[in-house]
Structure formats: structure tokens, C-alpha cells
Amino acid sequence: MSLTEMAYTNEFHHQRTQDNSCVARTISYLIHMKLSTLVFILIILLISIPLMMHYYVSQILAHQGQVAQKSHPLVTSMSLHSDSSSAHMKSRIDEMNRIKNSVSNELMQLEAKRNKLHQSIETYSSRIDELKQNLARLQLEYERLKYSVEQARATQREAAERDTPLLAMPRPLQPELGPRAPLPPPAAADARHCSLADCWDYSRCPLTGGFTFFLYRLEASGDADASRLHEALRSNAQWRPEAARVCAFVLVLGGATTPAELRRQGELADALRAGAVPVLLGEWPLPLDGPLDWRRAVLRVAEPRLPELHYLLRTLTDADILSYRRNGREFWEHYLSSAKAVADAVLTQFAERLELPPPPALGVKAGSAFNDTFQRLTVDVQLSSLDLDEYLGPIESPLASDRFQRNFTTPRLDTYARWNLFLAPHRLYPAVPYGDVLPAEAKFVGPRLGFRPVASGEGGSGKEFSEALGGNSPHEQFTVVMLTYRREQVLMSALGHLYGLPYLNKVVVVWNAPESPSDTLQWPSVGVPVEVVTVGKNSLNNRFLPFENIETDAILSIDDDAHLRHDEIVFGFRVWREQRDRLVGFPGRYNAWDTKHGGWHYNSNYSCEPSMVLTGAAFFHKYYAHMYSEWMPQVIRDKVDEYMNCEDIAMNFLISHLTRQPPVKVTSRWTFRCPGCPMTLSEDEEHFTERHKCINFFSRVYGHMPLLNTQFRVDSVLFKTRLPPDKQKCFRFI
């Protein structure tokens, strides 16, 4: 090797040694730097070192090529003089190949180091993202805990300020046994004017004892109507076989009505049953004339007005005629259509005259899907990234809604609505979706109990809004009811998604499968009780049973494969609190008219006039669970069982029929199915055919189409509003 080549080689090794020394010093210095700076400098080194090495190698190779070219004539000349020159050249070439291989190996080692450092950077980056998510979750939990403490303090203050005890379901109070002094008989002159206060023994009818009666034996009279009425009275829940502990004594007499009266009760029952509008001349006594407002179903005209009757009839609009026909049909169906309906109505009317509440409507006692010795496996879950974007409300201790708080005021204040509008006067329900709200100042003066005004009454935008429930009703929570059938992993995923959901009281899972849940299932710990109940029958009607486990007025009915964000659920709950008598849901559907063949069709396309919301994701009042299971005609529930379909349509029909209002659709959602879930029944073509049939069948049962269209949906108040930087929207994405 020549001196020039050796010089260049030494220079290369010297430079490489300096580079290695520089890299070593740099790495030593970087050890003491922060993680973020270290990552940045590592990236710079990974880029610069290969470039520097490539530059020096290319310079050396280029210089050696120039030397070889300059020395080529010399080599040729020397080869003519000596054969040893060829051997010398060969050794030089071998040396250059060795240097090249050495450089290549070093470059490969540097590349391996670069890949290793790159992997370390990715590991640190993922760790940083994980720490950021944990920090956001901890901050969110801190905020929730902070406001949860404030809510707990408010509840404690309310408990201390409450000056009246909470009432509960009436408990029977038995009358005293033994002889009692009889009431003095009324004076002879007042015998025909005997009032309840004078002639009735109220001590046998205490307020907390309810209305009970003893039924005398029916004498054989051959009267079929009297016999049917007697049997209906015996089947009433308020009948008692012993005479010692009852409020009233009932005797059924046959043949007491005159033939003319029977005929009149027959221009009336037939007309109501047929859906016609009875026109009565004169003041006829009508059944249940006290609680029933017959002006809603019968057109009464004084006899002297007979020549002017045609003028009156011509003034009736189509809406008036429909209202008369519908109200009359409902009066007949609920109060006059059978001996049982007549017996229940008479007993309820008499109990109200005695100022006694009707018997309470009891919830369904469902058995647990687990035996007493079973231990569920649980697993912790975390909030998803979608639910970390905004604060939606505090996590609170379970808060049950008030139940049976209007035991004695309901028969007085709500008599008209119970008999004439909601047609359910025979039972006292835990709570009802109708009624007046307190004035706005009640949140700050007077009772103040139970309210949680936004920012203690000062109001505000997104931040203050999310800290308290606010609204015109007292503070409350909701219960999730989820129906499932042989989709265990889908159910577990759906339950895990409920973790950290504000205002959630509990989750009731209706287990429709005949077999028990698997022992190996890992149930997510969602922060609230998860009760798995079974009723022994696979029926979609089980979705709407009034389970005793449900302790809130608000129910969120949701499918196990539905996927709603937390902000959507909280928004829907807030909307329902201002529309408590309505069905509030997310996906909208409508009933379309078949212009070619006639009849109704179920339509799931996008529409500007929805008339239904799917109960796979909808809020409703628990009162409607009682109405669905106890009041709605049984043939509708039977049709649901026959098709294993249409329970959501049935609930839409029921609520619209009772309220004369359409449902409330919230947000822009038209579907809520989770991606990747197994195929559902709704994807089958037969599913839609059955729903067409259901709509027409339900319409025939009700005698009309109760579904009403609506042309609006509900979005957040500040949605799309331009706000200053220091203000926040009510919901970021709604």
C-alpha cells in the first residue's frame, strides 16, 4: 500500500474514531436529558449519522478511484518491468474490498441500532399516549368525585331540612274486633236524605286500610246479567270472604231495572260499541255520570231544541265526530263492555265517594337468573376514548324516585284525567307522567327539596350546565332495561360501555334465554348494580314488564347490540325530563299509506315526518310499563308473541293512543347497531313483512290509527351557535 493510500486510510479510521467518540459523548450527555429531548435528539442522530457515514465513504472511494486512475499508467509501465507489480495491485484491491466490507458491516450495525432506537421511540410514544389517557381519566374522575361530594352534601342538607316523613304504599289497617255501639238511626223526616257522613260507619273504612267489601249470596232469580255481575264482583281483588273486616256489604239484585230503562241502556251501549255518536233528547241518567264526562262521548240536546237539531249536527267537524266516536268507544270498552268492567267501575266510584284510594298497582316480581350460591366473575372496565371528550355530569349514589307519594291526593286532583283521559282509575300507580310542576321560584324558596339548579340558580353554558341536572323537575336518575337472548359476549360489551354513565341508577338485564348464564362469563363492573332477571318465558313483551327492581320513573329501554355514546344518552334523559308523558328515542320510523292497495306499511327510510321511535334505544315513564302489561289489549301482546316482533310498534301505539301526541326524536341518529355484531332479526326480509301486518292489526284493535307524525327533532340548545372563547356549548357533539 502506498503512502498516499495509507494516509487516506488512516484519515478514515481517525475520522471514524472521532465520530464514534462523538457519538459516545453525545449518548452520555443525552442520558441526563429529559425524555422528550432525548427522543428528539435520537431522531436527529438516526438521520444524521448514516448521512455522515455515507458522505465520508463516498469521498474516500472517489479519492481512491482518482488515485487509481492517475497511477494506472505507472502500473502499466511497472508491469512491463516487474511481475511483482500485479501482486501488489491485487493486495491493494483486496484491502479496498476489506475496507468496503468493514464499512458495509458498520452501516448494517448502525441500521440495526437505528431500528432498535426507533422501536424504543414507538414504545415511549405509546406510553406517553397511555399516560395522557390515564391523566384525562383521572381528571374526569376527579371532577366527577368533586361534584358527587357536592351532590351528597346537598342530599344531606335536604334530609335535615325535611320536616315531613316520606309516605309509602298504603298498609292495611284492620278495624277493631268485638261489639261496637251501633250508629243511631236517622230521624224519620230525614230518612230519604241520609248522607254518607250520617249513615256510614267510617271506622270500618280507614284511609290506610283501603276499600274492601263482603258479597252476599245471590238468590236464584234466573237473571243472567245479575249472575255475571255477581261472579265479576267475586273475582275483584278487593272482595273478602269474611264479613268482620270489610268496609262495605254488597248485594246484587236482579230485575230491578224497568224495561224502558233497559231499552235505553241497550240506543246507548249498542251505539257506543259500534263507534257511533249517541244523540240524546232530554236529561237521561247515564251510568257513572259522576266521574265520567259524558259530554265527551254523547251529544245531549234539550227536547225543545228538536226542530233545530239539524243545525247543530251540521256544525260538527270531522275532528269533533272523531273525538265523540273515540271517547264513546273507550267509555264502553273500559267501563261497560263486560260484567267485570261494570263491577270494577262501580266499586272504584264508590270508594272515591268514601275518599279511599284504589288498591296499589304492584310491580312484577322476577326471579334472578343465578342461584343463591353462584358467584359472578367481574372485570374492571375503563371509559372509552369517545366518553373522555367532555364532562357530562357527576357520578352519584343510587337515588330512587319517590313512589306512592300521592296516595290520597291522586283520587282527588286527578279524578278527571284518570277516568276520562288515561282511562285507568282502578289502580294507584307508584307515579304518573302527567301533573303540574312547581313554579320556577320553588327551586330557591319554599320547599326547595330535591332540586339541583344549574350553578345554584345563576345558570350558565356548557361547563356550569354539566355540573348539575337542572330542569323543572326534582333531581332523579334512570334505569337501563336491556333484553338479551343467547348473545353473551355482545351483552358483556354493551354492559361495559355503560361504565361511568352519569345519572344511571341500575341496570336490569332481562335474560330471555332458557338456560342460565355461563359460569365463565366475566361481568363488567360498571359502577352500579347489574341485576339479571328471568320470567320463565321467552317473550319480547318482557322488555316492558314493570319489574319491582326498577326504582326510578325513567326507563331507558336499550338493545344489547345498540351503541349509543354517553353524551347522547344523557341528552336523551334531559329531554325526557321535560316530556315525561312522551316516548323519547333516537332512531325514527314512520307508518306509510299504501296508495295502490290501501292499508298501512311500516317504513324505515329517512323521513321528515317520523311517527315512531324504536324502543331499542328510548326513554319512557315506568307508568307505561304498567299500561303495556295490564291495560293494553291482550290480543296485541299475543300478536307480539306470535311474530316474535313488533313490541316496539305496540309501545308507540299505546303511548300515542293515551297522549294523542307523537313521540320525540332526539339527535340525528337513524340507526344504532354496533359494527361487527351478529346478524339480527331486523335484517330478515320477513321481519318487515310482519311489521306491516302488525301495524294494520293494531289499528283494527284500537279502532283507529293512533300514530301521529311529527316534523321536528330535538337537538341541543347551543348546537351550531357561535360562542365566545370563554363559553362552552351544552354538548360538544350534539
* Pairing label, strands 522-525, 584-585: unpaired
Identify whether 648 is a catalytic site residue. yes
d(CA 29, CA 309): 107
Under DSSP, the state recorded for 362 is: P
Per residue in 520-539, is it b (16+ CB within 10 Å) or e — as a string? eeebbebebebbbbbbeeeb
* Pairing label, strands 377-380, 588-593: unpaired
How many angstroms separate the Cα of 389 from the Cα of each of 417, 418, 464, 607?
Answer: 45, 45, 16, 31
Rounded to 5°, the CA angle 63-67-68 comes to 115
d(CA 536, CA 369): 10
C-beta neighbour count of 220 within 10 angstroms: 8
For 649, the grid coordinates are 310498534
SS3 80: helix
Nearest to 498 by CA among 378, 574, 384: 384
Helix (H) or strand (E) holding 299: strand 299-301
SS3 594: coil
Helix (H) or strand (E) holding 653: helix 647-659
Per residue in 640-674, is it b (16+ CB within 10 Å) or e — as a string? beebebbbbbbbbbbbbbbbeebbbbbbebbebee
Nearest to 640 by CA among 569, 562, 539: 539
Q: Which residue, chain included where needed, has cell 251501549?
A: 269
- 590 forms beta bridges with 603
d(CA 576, CA 459): 20
For residues 53, 59, 61 and 67, what is the CA-based torsion angle, rounded to 10 degrees? -160
Catalytic residue among 553, 567, 581, 648: 648
d(CA 615, CA 451): 29
Q: If you count DSSP H runs as helices and E runs as strands, how many of each does the chain have, helices first?
A: 19, 17
d(CA 512, CA 516): 10
Nearest to 503 by CA among 455, 563, 554: 554
d(CA 183, CA 196): 12
* CB within 8 Å of 278: residues ≥ 6 apart: 267, 268, 271, 272, 297, 298, 299, 328
Phi/psi of residue 715, each to 5°? Answer: -125, 170
d(CA 396, CA 92): 84
Dihedral-angle region of residue 511 (phi above 0 means left; psi in -120 to 50 means alpha; beta otherwise): beta
d(CA 604, CA 610): 9
How many angstroms separate the Cα of 61 from the Cα of each of 70, 103, 199?
Answer: 14, 11, 127
For residues 627, 629, 631 and 632, what is the CA-based torsion angle, rounded to 10 degrees? 100
C-beta neighbour count of 614 within 10 angstroms: 26
Q: List active site positions.
A: 648
